[in-house]
Structure 1
Amino acid sequence: MAIIQLASDNPAFSFLIKKNPASGMVFRGIRKGVANGWFSEEGIYHVFFQDAQNTVSFNAKDEPAFDYLNLSKYTSPFAYLQMINEFFKTVYTKENDQDKVGFQNRIVFSMIYARKEHYLRFFNQYFEGYDFTAIQKAEKYYEVTILSNGKLADLLKISNVFCLFLAMNSKEPFQVEDDLIQKYIQFLIDLDVPYFIRYLFAQNFLFRPKTFQKFKSQLEQTEKYPIKLQFGNTHLQRRSAIKSRFNFSNSIVDIGCGEGFYALPFAQKLEAPLFYYAIDINPDLLLHVEKRALHLEIENIGTYASLDYFLENAPSEKVDVLLTEVIEHMSLDQAEKLIQQVLNFVNFERFIITTPNRDFNVFYELEGEFRNEDHQFESTTEEFQNWLSDIVQRSSQFEVDFFQIGDTVAGISTSSGAMIRRKGVE
């Protein structure tokens, strides 16, 4: 059983949804079940879906298709999507002069599955003019209410987008077709949603390069500010930017290697006898890298518990150095000392540093906040460039080039990057 309640103060509500209060209950077939729609009173319409007997219309990959206790049949975001489209499609596909701003509109999903629960917070945070309330009924199951004084059509468009995001991240198989992508991008354009919702849409639905290129320019359309999206999430965008600046002709020293996001793919690009030196102070992360390298049969990765330990055993060969999204996890003084240690004691040709660009935080609605709780500082583009230039210019051996990484909004990028070279190195 899935239940939707749609309510409005607009006196033309019944005309907008094309339902006559005097006509009684409406029945519609949805997959293997039946949905019923009715007015409980003027201005409040309910839709109730139930599968026939013990069949399951909306079941997860690992759930049987015949089960009278199957939870998915009661809470699936797909069920709510189909109910909205079956009963209220004309509201948002055909403009109606009676659908006016200023009336309170409300939609309630009685209990919906949310595997990625932070999406509930995202939608409340990034959709101005809409109030999302989520009441937890069980683990990952919520009663969700969306309130708005805007147009009813816009409320239903947002409800569609909301259910689509939950459906994409649910337990059920989901085929993403171009027609569906086109439909929902148009919703995002109509609603003129902020950057972060567009970014999430690209990550969830434009995850193939060909599809991303096909719909990229449409998804960037907004009256708010110029947007330039890049393929992949912020991590992939950084890796792509770094990959384009390394020629993999030297061994690589990765300081703060983490789980091996760079180490595992980059090590495979190095031809013998080149080596990948993965450094991290977290022994659990180093163990993870070692296990993954063993599983992937990568034999040219060595792990080190600190830069000091690496330097005690450092080879004489020239290397390229990677320090990505690390310095913000320490104080500025510690970060400066770490960079100076590399400049003074590592025989490198190229030294790449990346860090979050605080200028961009406004587009995450993080004004006055850091992106992660464990960050000790975050710099604007200008602050980062001035700070690093001062460090590099203390020696006549080095020069630094700065670059921007990732999506840009109003000309501001998600991350700042720098490549330090020994002078004379191309």
Structure 2
Amino acid sequence: MQIIIQSKNNHLLDILYKNPATDLGLYCKELRNGVLIGNAVSVNEYHCLFQDTKNSYLPDEDNPIDFQSYCSPLLALNMATEFFNHLFKSNETLENTTLSWLGKTYAEMDTLPANVVVPTFFIDSGWYKNGTFLLSKYIEGISVVPKIGNNYSLKVDGKTIRETLHKFSVVALFCHFTNKHSEYMYIDDYFIQKHITILANLPNVPYFVYYLFIKRLMRSPEQFRTFKPQLEAYFNNTIQFVFTDTHQSRKEFICNRIENNEAVLDFGCGNLQYFKKLRKSGFTAEYLAHDEEDFEDTVDKIIGYENVENLHWIANKEDLIGFEGQVILSEVIEHNTLEEATELLYWIKENIHFTTLFITTPNSEFNVNYEMTEEFRHDDHDFELTKQEFINLIASIFPNKTEYHGIGDCVNGVYPTSAMIVYKQ
């Protein structure tokens, strides 16, 4: 792998701690089974090269060619750490640090734009789609151009050398943890703290990047609770993060309120995520699964593998008439037209004797945090409602007692998921 750093700043090598008068500007260091080589090409350009000897980044040991040593995001992350770890401190610390041989601080020297170029960079995830790289939507100065297969050329621009390397580290970090078959890494508190500092150094990082950081990197609720104050402080505490992603948050919200000894109808059951979670918590009552799509094979596999007797697939909606118990209608209504969704809710009201009805749907007011303007959150949604529109819809159909809840992260008082609990009339 080759990493090229360029800037018109004549202090580039000083900022990188690379002395062109030492060993003709060459710097060598071992990394795994290979060698890192740094080369001061000129006062305005520095090259980093990794030369492997044997299988340092090979995901498949049966493959004799370790192509990952030429393009792996993990390797890029490792190289940045080995060469420039001194720059991955807080801006406040660096700006007040004086380089002894110049008698100047970083704030005085690091004042011109820079860029990092990686000729071949491996991305094997859904983050590059329809000609757009996901992070490019949220952080300025990130450019990804397809080459062959999952190989891309990467260019990162920043207003300063430090900002450029921080952005580059963020790209390498996320690409490694989202690539398929990525090499497992033990993520300790030091690793998390380092990259929280890097994110905090960048200006105007939007909510969604922090959301991805929490969901992709943090391994436990305890680790999340440790760093939650720092994450929220970046946004002046206008955001309250939760550990679970939006889907998991919906499951927890509903499953924590389900009575284990009362039957459940999962209307729009999908692949039975709610049943699986409830079963782990000791749910033993009858569970009826229904969906417009055919998930009978999924139900049969669960019954066979886990030897359950209380799970039943109901293909025909009319066979549900007269059901008594709890009803889950999670992320269903938006997959119909508004008219069809209204008809479905009326059908449930007239034909199902529910004790509690749990309805969830995306809150369209939150979509701005995904950099969405007019498009829906998912391609198969026919409509998405604001909080008040959702409350009005349910109130127009059910005269029962209801409770509204926001689920998930809270950004300026707005939640990604709207939930309504409708109680027995």
Task: Give the TM-score, by structure 2 length.
Answer: 0.89
SS of the residue corresponding to residue 358 of structure 2 reads strand
Residue 255 of structure 1 aligns with an amino acid whose one-letter code is F
How far apart, in 2, do the equivalents of 1:254 and 1:33 lie? 54
SS of the residue corresponding to residue 40 of structure 1 reads strand
- Render the CA deviation track for 1:18-37: whole Å, top value 9, x for unaligned: 22345332222222211111
Which of residues 151, 154, 158 in structure 1 aligns to 2:167? Answer: 158
Residue 124 of structure 2 aligns with an amino acid whose one-letter code is R
* Change beyond 3 A, Cα 1:324–1:234: same
Which of residues 189, 207, 210 in structure 2 aligns to 1:178? Answer: 189
Matches within 5 A, 1:258-277: 258-267=270-279, 269=281, 272=284, 274-277=285-288
Shift of 1:73: 1.9
Alpha-carbon contact 2:72-2:176 (below 8 Å) kept: yes
Shift of 1:117: 4.0
RMSD: 2.0
1:9 aligns with 2:5: no
* Change beyond 3 A, Cα 1:224–1:114: farther
- Render the CA deviation track for 1:377-397: whole Å, top value 9, x for unaligned: 10010111112111113xxxx
Counterpart position of 1:414: 416
Counterpart position of 2:377: 371
Shift of 1:321: 0.4
Which of residues 332, 336, 358 in structure 1 aligns to 2:342? Answer: 336
Shift of 1:301: 0.9
1:403 aligns with 2:405: yes
- In structure 1, list runs of 5 or more residues that go unmatched: none
How far apart, in 1, do the equivalents of 2:40 and 2:201 lie? 29
Alpha-carbon contact 1:76-1:112 (below 8 Å) kept: yes
Shift of 1:364: 0.7
Identity %: 30
Residue 137 of structure 1 aligns with an amino acid whose one-letter code is K
How far apart, in 1, do the equivalents of 2:277 and 2:303 lie? 10
Quick check: 380-389 or 17-26, which moved more? 17-26
Which of residues 72, 75, 92 in structure 1 aligns to 2:68? Answer: 72
Matches within 5 A, 1:164-243: 164-170=173-179, 171-192=182-203, 193-223=205-235, 226-243=238-255
- Render the CA deviation track for 1:212-260: whole Å, top value 9, x for unaligned: 2222222222246611111211111001111222222310001100111
How far apart, in 1, do the equivalents of 2:279 and 2:67 lie? 45
Matches within 5 A, 1:285-304: 285-304=295-314
Counterpart position of 1:27: 28
- Render the CA deviation track for 1:337-394: whole Å, top value 9, x for unaligned: 111111111111000100000110011111211101111110010111112111113x
Counterpart position of 2:117: 108
Shift of 1:85: 1.8
Shift of 1:100: 3.9
Quick check: 90-99 or 242-251, which moved more? 90-99
How far apart, in 2, do the equivalents of 1:390 and 1:68 lie? 66
Residue 419 of structure 2 aligns with an amino acid whose one-letter code is G
Quick check: 263-272 or 134-143, which moved more? 263-272
* Change beyond 3 A, Cα 1:144–1:254: same
Residues matched between the structures, number: 403
Counterpart position of 1:278: 289
- In structure 2, list runs of 5 or more residues that go unmatched: 96-105
- Render the CA deviation track for 1:382-426: whole Å, top value 9, x for unaligned: 111112111113xxxx22111111111111111000011124xxx
Which of residues 312, 315, 327 in structure 2 aligns to 1:321? Answer: 327
* Change beyond 3 A, Cα 1:271–1:244: closer
How far apart, in 1, do the equivalents of 2:235 and 2:283 lie? 49
Task: Give the TM-score, by structure 1 length.
Answer: 0.89
